[in-house]
Amino acid sequence: MDKTINQKAWFLVLPVFLVVAFSAVLPLMTVVNYSMQDTFGNNQFFWNGVGWFKELLDPSTDLGGRFLASLGRNLFFSAVILAIEVPLGIVVALSMPREGWSVAACLVILALPLLIPWNVVGTIWQIFGRPDIGLLGYVLNHLGFNYNYVANDVDAWVTVIVMDVWHWTSLVALLCYAGLKSIPDAYYQAAQIDGASRWAVFKAIQLPKMNRVLLIAVLLRFMDSFMIYTEPFVVTGGGPGNSTTFVSIELVKIALGQFDLGKAAALSLAYNLIILIVCWVFYTVMTNAGSERPVKEGAA
Amino acid sequence: MHSIPGRRLIMGLFLIFLLLPIYWLVNMSFKTNAEIISTMTLWPHAPTLQHYRRIFTDESWYSGYINSLEYVVINTVISIAVALPAAYAFSRYRFLGDKHLFFWLLSNRMAPAAVYALPFFNLYSAIGLFDTPWAVALAHCIFNVPLAVWILEGFVSGVPREIDETAFLDGYSFPRFFIKILVPLIASGIGVAAFFCFMFSWVELLLARTLTSVAAKPISAVMTRTVSAAGMDWGLLAAAGVLTIIPGALVIWFVRNYIARGFALGRV
């Protein structure tokens, strides 16, 4: 808006640029290099051109089949957790106490799961869900459900999803709460005078005000669930079979498990490209939403 | 007017849902292994501190915590130090490629750690930083620096431009203005950004595990490896887990008043 044009600002940005370029561009170049080659160990590499990329997109090959299957599972997982966490987060944010010490207490407890190392989150649910020593598994089995996340695909999925909801709904809730807090009281008073219903207040005042933070929440949740690795790895190890093997788990298996550098690099690039595209879409929507907003408010 | 009918019930249920698994972990950490395996008890009937004692006396365990804290602190300091001037630049000036640069930074925050695990391993081995806290700290910069820039930019934009202009008219040089005036004004923002850097560096496992082997092994890696070797010492595992929650809980307590705004990344 009233920013001045000043090319010297580059000097202020330079440290960030160098640090991130060192950790992002150099490794990415290695990846591009590997993705065109094949190795039989002993640091001997052979030119493979776009061979890996062709395989990657062909479901009949081993690499392509694994990539596309894990991608499908991952997209389904992201869709499910977004469908649960976003509405639940909004409801929790609307349920926050208004004032007093309970606000701080709720905020601290809400933030707690976010600060737990991801492998410990996995450990917590691994223990909690076990039929022999975990409360959840024990109770479910005694209620007559044959719940066992190690052996049953559906149970494994349910566990991973509930775990993610437990872990990250707070993030959505805290973001929405921040959005709600920024609504001036005058809006609510006006609504009261107009005799607006609860639902009308939510739709006309609260939801529009939460738009921006919700966008951030969806972006962060989509990205983080799309690259989820540690939690399912600890709980299910990608199993039973391959049923909870997400893209990151598959990638680490290929890269650090089999040391199949060419395949792993090609998969990495495809993976990164998807993330980059989604990120760009969100970024464009976000900056556009920011510039459109005053116009909309003026019209309303 | 903020809230909805039945809010106390919803909030209560949700908090119980959050706390129950954590309670179970704490509960288990105070039980003996015999009690864990043989009976299902809702609280420890024969409370013991043996697991905690083992962690605090065995160097391979407690050094894991020290290693983790070491790289988390280094990472937080680097991230904030480089992000502050950049946040100011993004907030105040337009320059060649600013929007592209901002997007590029943001996209790095979203890059999957799994993609970088192997190249980082090669890179840090090549420059001799492998198995040091610096390798992990620098690797974590890839997602923490962009995040810090993003958060701080929001807070810097909240400071009126007139303050900069007045300071420069008063004869402040840029570095002096930055340290004496701007930094104190956005102190809460720096706190929030540091909180987030701490958080994301503390919870990350994949890169931390890949870039260390013996000397700088983080606690999360100690946990995964010892468990597989010792054949499921549940009580010890639970105690180690509880101890990893504590630093996070302490940090939350300090920033609890800024948490809501912080999670909105300073741009509500």
Which domains are present in chain A? 12-299 (1.10.3720.10)
- Of the residues A4, A12, A39, the best mutation for testing chain B's interface (the one with the most B CB atoms within 10 Å of its CB) is A12
Cβ of A123 within 8 Å of Cβ of B20? The answer is: no
Residues B104 and B40 in one domain: no
Is there a cis peptide before residue B218, judged by omega within 30 degrees of 0? no
Query: Residue B130 domain-assigned?
Result: yes
Query: Residue B243 domain-assigned?
Result: yes
Cβ of B261 within 8 Å of Cβ of A22? The answer is: no
pLDDT digits (tens, 9 = 90+) for A188-224: 888 888 888 888 888 888 888 788 788 888 888 888 8
The region of weakest confidence among A78-92, A144-158, B136-150 is A144-158
The region of weakest confidence among A248-252, B29-33, B36-40, B74-78 is B36-40
Residues B33 and B128 in one domain: no
Task: Give pTM, 2 decimals.
Answer: 0.85
Report DSSP state, residue A3.
Answer: P
A121 to chain B: nearest residue by CA? B241
Would you say residue B50 has pLDDT above 60? yes
CA dist., res. A20 & res. A154, Å (int) = 40
Write out chain B residues lying below 8 Å of A115, CB-based.
199, 202-203, 245, 247-249, 251-252
Would you say residue A298 has pLDDT above 50? no
Cβ of A138 within 8 Å of Cβ of B40? The answer is: yes
Cβ of A112 within 8 Å of Cβ of B249? The answer is: yes
Residues B69 and B164 in one domain: yes
HSE, side-chain direction, 13 A CA sphere, residue A248: 23
**Using CB atoms and an 8 Å cut-off, which of residues 130-189 of chain A contact chain B?**
132-136, 138, 166, 169-171, 174-175, 177-182, 185, 188
Residues B39 and B106 in one domain: no
CA angle B143, B149, B154 (to 5 degrees): 130
Would you say residue A300 has pLDDT above 50? no
Residues B175 and B250 in one domain: yes
pLDDT digits (tens, 9 = 90+) for B170-206: 988 888 998 888 999 888 888 888 888 888 898 888 8
pLDDT the model gives residue B4: 67
How many other CB atoms are found less than 10 A from the CB of residue A109?
19
Residues B24 and B135 in one domain: no
Complete DSSP assignment for B240-253:
HHHHHHHHHHHHHH
Of B48, B67, B82, the residue at which a domain comes to its end is B48
Residues B135 and B9 in one domain: no
Query: Residue B5 domain-assigned?
Result: yes
Query: How many domains does one find in chain B?
Result: 2
Is residue A51 less than 8 Å (CB to CB) from chain B?
no
Residues B256 and B128 in one domain: yes
pLDDT the model gives residue B112: 80
* Closest by CA position to B148, among listed B192, B115, B211, B114: B192
**Residue among A114, A136, A201 whose CB faces B199 most closely:** A114
pLDDT the model gives residue A218: 87
Is residue A75 less than 8 Å (CB to CB) from chain B?
no
HSE, side-chain direction, 13 A CA sphere, residue B22: 22
Distance of CA A183 to the CA centre of its chain: 27
* Closest by CA position to B210, among listed A117, A252, A33: A252
Report DSSP state, residue A115.
Answer: G
pLDDT the model gives residue B78: 94
Helix and strand counts by DSSP (H, E) for chain B: 15, 1
pLDDT the model gives residue A293: 46
Would you say residue A299 has pLDDT above 50? no
Would you say residue A1 has pLDDT above 70? no
**Residue among A20, A26, A125 whose CB faces B108 most closely:** A20
A74 vs A222, A238, A240, A286, B150, CA distance in Å?
A: 10, 12, 16, 24, 27
Would you say residue B74 has pLDDT above 90? yes
| Structural domain for B5, as ranges | 1-48
DSSP H/E element including A174: helix A153-181
CA dist., res. A45 & res. A258, Å (int) = 16
Query: Residue B207 domain-assigned?
Result: yes
* Closest by CA position to B239, among listed B17, B66, B16, B53: B53
**A226 burial class (0-12, 13-18, 19+ CB within 10 angstroms)?**
buried
Cβ of B223 within 8 Å of Cβ of A120? The answer is: yes
CA dist., res. B25 & res. B21, Å (int) = 6
Query: Residue B268 domain-assigned?
Result: no
pLDDT digits (tens, 9 = 90+) for A18-68: 888 888 888 888 888 878 877 666 666 777 777 778 777 777 788 888 888
pLDDT the model gives residue A54: 79
Query: Residue B74 domain-assigned?
Result: yes
Per residue, what are the HEC states of A236-274? CCCCCCCCCCCHHHHHHHHHHHCCCHHHHHHHHHHHHHH
Of B29, B48, B67, the residue at which a domain comes to its end is B48
Residues B167 and B44 in one domain: no
A34 to chain B: nearest residue by CA? B119
Residues B126 and B237 in one domain: yes
Q: Which residue has the higher pLDDT, A189 or A256?
A: A189
Q: Average per-residue pLDDT in chain A?
A: 83
Write out chain A residues lying below 8 Å of B204, CB-based.
117-118
Query: Would you call B4 helix, strand, or coil by DSSP?
Result: coil
Residues B115 and B202 in one domain: yes
Residues B89 and B175 in one domain: yes
The encoded tokens of residue B76 equal: 């937080």
CATH number for position B173 = 1.10.3720.10
